[in-house]
């Protein structure tokens, strides 16, 4: 009874744009393989600032501290579909001094518009290397089990920067 009285009229903060949200999550692919998981209570994002994939952001709208949800997100609402045009053969000499050339190794490369891409080595041949510039999670159905740990208002500085400051966020 004391608890009920204590909670009477409590303001439940729901997730919406400009809220800072702390989550715990477990991410699995369609085969049930673990792809990623948060360290306890350390994943923080600014809602509405495209800090996270759209499918997950949409599923979290209206949730509050203590809510749990399971959501399955199609590639279109996650990291996009795979594009075979982003797979290409390059000369091995491009990797000179660049560390291990082996399948699965990732390198930074410059894209056609000068943007930074992460490419993954898909195949190693005698003189050439097949690199894949698709996001490693492109084309995958993503299954999240999420717990909402905390929801708070963003500071005006966080809104200006478009990201979270402090623990789990940016420090600058």
Residues in contact with Zn ion by CB under 5 A are 161, 170
Minimum CB distance to Zn ion smaller for 130 or for 159:
159
Minimum CB distance to Zn ion smaller for 86 or for 161:
161
CB of 29 to Zn ion, least distance (A): 32
Q: How many CB atoms lie within 10 A of CB 141?
A: 14
Rounded Cα distance, 43 and 64, in Å: 16
CB of 90 to Zn ion, least distance (A): 36
What DSSP line would sit under 23-90, residue for residue?
EEEEEE-TT--EEEE--TT-EEEETTTT-S-HHHHHHHTT-BTT-EEEEEE-GGGTT----GGGEEEE
Minimum CB distance to Zn ion smaller for 89 or for 170:
170
Output the six-digit token pair for 52: 């996270």
In this chain, which residue has its C-beta nearest to Zn ion? 161
CB of 159 to Zn ion, least distance (A): 10
Minimum CB distance to Zn ion smaller for 52 or for 122:
52
């Amino acid at each position: 009874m004391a608890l009920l009285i204590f909670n009477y009229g409590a303001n439940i903060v729901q997730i919406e744009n400009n809220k800072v949200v702390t989550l715990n999550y477990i991410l699995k692919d369609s085969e049930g393989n673990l792809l990623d998981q948060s360290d306890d209570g350390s994943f923080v994002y600014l809602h509405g600032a495209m800090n996270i994939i759209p499918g997950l952001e949409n599923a979290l709208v209206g949730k509050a501290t203590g809510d749990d949800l399971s959501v399955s997100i199609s590639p279109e609402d996650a990291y996009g579909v795979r594009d075979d045009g982003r797979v290409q053969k390059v000369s091995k000499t491009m990797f000179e001094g660049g560390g291990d050339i082996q399948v699965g190794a990732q390198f930074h490369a410059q894209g056609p518009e000068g943007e930074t891409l992460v490419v993954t080595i898909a195949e190693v041949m005698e003189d050439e290397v097949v690199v894949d510039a698709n996001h490693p999670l492109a084309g995958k159905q993503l299954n999240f089990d999420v717990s909402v740990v905390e929801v708070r208002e963003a500071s005006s500085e966080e809104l200006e920067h478009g990201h979270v400051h402090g623990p789990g966020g940016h420090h600058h």
